[in-house]
Amino acid sequence: MHIALIGYGEVGRILAEDLRGHVLTACDVKDDLALRTHAEQHGVALTGSHAGAVRGADLIISAVTASQAVAVAEACAPALASGAFLLDLNSASPGAKQHAAHVVDGAGGRYVEGAVMTSVPPCRIKVPLLLGGPHAAALEPALDGLGFAARVASPTLGVASATKMCRSVMIKGVEAMVIESFTAARHYGVEDAVIASLNDTFPGVDWEKQAAYFFQRVIQHGRRRSEEVREVAVTVHEAGLEPYSAAGTAERQAWMADLADAGVFGARGTKDFGADADWRVPADRILKRLT
């Protein structure tokens, strides 16, 4: 199978590793040595354009930032082979997915929305994946054959994405709340008491480990997460609700991304960046930055 990967970041590279043996092409707006080296090592042909990557592909997998989901569909559509599937893994609102589907299907392709239901790195290609849209049932067997853990959520576009986005109100919101709560608690010297209280209230969660994981993920991927949560806010707004929580979460995630870009947590791209096993280390760096 010829598979085109649009977006060669963390998700794209994991998929490239797990899909070895197929014809792989890829396109990414970034062009650096690490990207080129990884592609060469895994037999991925990098192209300079979306059209170059998708031309002749049976399956196109779009894994870019949330704000670019529709733009990628528009860029790929003119070069799609008739009947080619475009699997959109981006965390965009149901409205954005419907727009992208109109573009792809109008060009003779088959658009399928994909809602990734947990973090990709631990599960890799086996990450739980909800499919949606009128072409989802046709794509599901092919994805299963490739090693994905996909199931059809609904033939109606937007259902899978709504499931993902409503979940993200909670998941990304808890990340932001933990960073805010624990950093403030560290300032006041009450972090041990706060964690003890949380352990009593939620005995199934190891809050020390969970906090470290949340800090790591937001430091490393806060920019992408903030864009996703802005799409979450759009989803909530499309339901007629004011997205107070989602909007605040997006701001906190973006704030962490700004600190990361400023070098507060070390040099981006190094193996130690955002990898502290103790959440107190990045919290102390934040507090030092604020003084």
pTM for this predicted structure: 0.85
In the three-class reduction of DSSP (H, G, I as helix; E, B as strand; rest coil), residue 113 is classed as strand
Give ranges for CATH 3.40.50.720 in the chain: 2-154
- Token pair 């197929």 is found at 22
DSSP assignment letter at 77:
G
Instruction: Give the architecture-level CATH label for domain 161-290.
Output: Orthogonal Bundle (1.10)
Position of tokens 């992208």? 100
Where do you find CATH 1.10.1040.10 in the chain? Answer: 161-290
Q: List, in order, residues 6 or more apart from 92 with CB less than 8 Å away.
A: 66, 69, 70, 100, 161, 231
CATH topology for 2-154?
Answer: Rossmann fold (3.40.50)
Asked whether 172 and 249 are in contact (CB, 8 A), the reply is yes
Sequential pLDDT tens for the chain (291 residues):
999 999 999 999 999 999 999 999 999 988 888 899 999 999 999 998 999 999 999 999 999 988 899 999 999 999 999 999 999 999 999 999 999 999 999 999 999 999 999 989 899 999 999 999 999 999 999 999 999 999 999 999 999 999 999 999 999 999 999 999 999 999 999 999 999 999 999 999 999 999 999 999 999 999 999 999 999 999 999 999 999 999 999 999 999 999 999 999 999 878 889 899 999 999 999 999 999
